[in-house]
Amino acid sequence: ILHRVRDLRKAGDPRAAALQPDAKSQVTLRYVDGKPVGATSVVISTQHVEGASQATIREELGSIVRDVLPEGWMPPESEFYVNPTGIFVIGGPDGDCGLTGRKIIVDTYGGAAPHGGGAFSGKDPTKVDRSAAYACRYLAKNVVAAGLADRCTLQLSYAIGVSHPLSVYVDLDGTGKDVDEEKLGNVLREVMDLTPRGIRKHLRLNRPIYTQTSAYGHFGRTPDAAKDDFTWEQTDLVGALRGAFNR
């Protein structure tokens, strides 16, 4: 939704003529058997030019959301919220400042997965708050891509001054394909060096690739081969993982 709003605003589309850059959106989904089947509510708060009609903004954003959501997913009108706090003219750093320690939920899974509480934005990759979270995303995504499970949650625990993780906990949520979770944890240690230095080297994190992570979250992004960014979204460990369980 926010990508579409941004694209229309930058293209000078009449539907976004009154909109300004600062915007946020929240979509609440209804799940059946673990899969999303519809949106029960949609919230959009967007900065706008002074004097813009809230009714007009609501109407135009409604048309944008309908274009973005799958057919039949638009919630009832009473559950579509646009600027619910009212006028939103002052935005950006003038209206809300600060970085480190913020955005920890929107940067990850929107609250759909356990979160250790460490922030990503504003920290360099030597901090495991950032790099180890990327490693967990990377490994879990490869586990699923390798067909070893339908769901995978990883937990890495570290201690200051100790390079190797104190624990690697794997939860396949009952979806494992004849895969022992404890063995999988050991295999993950084998296929990737999970020390802070090892993670940075494997995912090539010691580079200026983070500007794009300042908006739209850190996960679920499509890597750009030319920029070699979002390396934690790649699934290049599939062969190694499958091989480890076919020995």
Q: What is the 3-state secondary structure (H, E, C) of 2-62?
A: HHHHHHHHHHCCHHHCCEEEEEEEEEEEEEECCEEEEEEEEEEEEEECCCCCHHHHHHHHH
Q: For residues 137 and 40, what is the distance between their CA atoms, to the nearest angstrom?
A: 27
pLDDT for residue 93 is more than 70: yes
- pLDDT, mean of residues 226-239: 95
What is the predicted pLDDT for the residue at 108?
A: 87
* Model confidence band, residue 106 (pLDDT cutoffs 50, 70, 90): confident
Q: For residues 65 and 2, what is the distance between their CA atoms, to the nearest angstrom?
A: 9
What is the predicted pLDDT for the residue at 39?
A: 93
Angle, vertex CA 20, rays to CA 14 and CA 25, nearest 5: 95
Residues found in the chain: 247
Task: Dump pLDDT digits (tens) for 17-45.
Answer: 999 999 989 898 898 988 899 999 999 99
First to last CA, the chain: 45
Percent of the chain surpassing pLDDT 90: 67
The first and second tokens of residue 151, run together, are: 């769901």
Residue 113 DSSP symbol: S
Task: Dump pLDDT digits (tens) for 150-203.
Answer: 999 999 988 777 889 988 999 999 999 989 999 999 999 999 999 999 999 999
What is the predicted pLDDT for the residue at 98?
A: 63
Q: For residues 95 and 59, what is the distance between their CA atoms, to the nearest angstrom?
A: 25
Q: For residues 232 and 136, what is the distance between their CA atoms, to the nearest angstrom?
A: 9
Percent of the chain surpassing pLDDT 70: 98
Q: H-type helices in 146-237, by residue range?
A: 181-191, 196-202
pLDDT for residue 217 is more than 70: yes
Read off the pTM. Answer: 0.79
Q: For residues 21 and 10, what is the distance between their CA atoms, to the nearest angstrom?
A: 9
